[in-house]
């Protein structure tokens, strides 16, 4: 998950993700620091509990500011496009009539730089928006996803990327298929598709062969 200032959690205490490595768990914090602890089920549960709390703070506090952000950012983008379009038309017309000046050239360069900046900002906002949607989807559907995946058939992976399928399969027996950490490596599209496939299977209510997962051996406490 990404770092959100709105949680008011210091970066050195905000967990972005973690990775289990044999005898240790390596946490990545928002300040790019790595925090290493013993690899135990209890430690991992505590880490996941903290990350779930972070996710809840993000989802609950971000709602009120989304409209304002869209108005400011997209309004800025539209304004920039209009200014750039007008200036480009004006410069082309001036060039045809031999009236182009250094002022027009300078303004054009400024407009281009502004458009590049606006594009970068919009890309960052869109990335944050996708991450936020994924966190919200997980928070709302984690029970549906985890409780039904184990008894679902191969149909649950229809139109899901191979990478996501392998990620779900490659886990310990004591791990849930979906956690706030595991969805970091999963796309919003894959997560939404799996949810839709589970809901379809529940609605059909047909007798299907469940998937047999070759999961890793259970870890020690």
- Provide the 3-class DSSP secondary structure of residue 219: coil
Q: Which residues contact 23 (CB under 8 A, 6 or more apart)?
A: 38, 39
List, in sequence order, every residue forming a beta bridge with 172; answer none if it has no partner. Answer: 216
pLDDT of residue 176: 84
Run of H or E residues at 25: strand 24-29
d(CA 93, CA 9): 54
Segment 41-96, tens digit of pLDDT = 899 999 999 999 999 988 887 654 555 555 555 666 666 666 666 666 666 655 55
- Provide the 3-class DSSP secondary structure of residue 206: coil
Instruction: Provide mean pLDDT across the span 7-30.
Output: 93
Q: Among 181, 180, 134, 179, which residue's Cα sits nearest to residue 26?
A: 181
Model pTM above 0.75: no
């Amino acid at each position: 998950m990404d770092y959100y200032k709105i949680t008011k959690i210091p970066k050195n205490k905000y967990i972005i993700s973690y990775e289990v490595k044999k005898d240790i768990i390596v946490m990545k914090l928002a300040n790019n620091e790595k925090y290493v602890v013993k690899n135990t089920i209890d430690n991992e549960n505590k880490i996941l509990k903290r990350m779930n709390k972070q996710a809840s703070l993000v989802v609950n506090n971000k709602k009120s500011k989304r409209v304002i952000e869209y108005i400011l950012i997209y309004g800025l983008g539209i304004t920039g496009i209009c200014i750039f379009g007008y200036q480009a038309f004006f410069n082309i017309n001036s060039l045809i009539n031999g009236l182009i000046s250094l002022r027009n050239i300078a303004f054009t360069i400024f407009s281009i730089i502004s458009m590049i900046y606006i594009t970068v900002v919009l890309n960052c906002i869109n990335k944050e928006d996708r991450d936020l949607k994924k966190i919200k989807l997980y928070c709302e559907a984690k029970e549906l996803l985890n409780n039904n995946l184990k008894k679902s058939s191969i149909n649950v992976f229809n139109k899901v990327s191979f990478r996501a399928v392998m990620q779900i399969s490659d886990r310990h027996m004591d791990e849930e298929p979906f956690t706030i950490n595991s969805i970091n490596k999963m796309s919003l599209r894959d997560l939404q598709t799996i949810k839709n496939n589970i809901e379809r299977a529940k609605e059909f209510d047909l007798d299907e062969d469940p998937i047999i997962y070759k999961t890793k051996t259970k870890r020690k406490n």
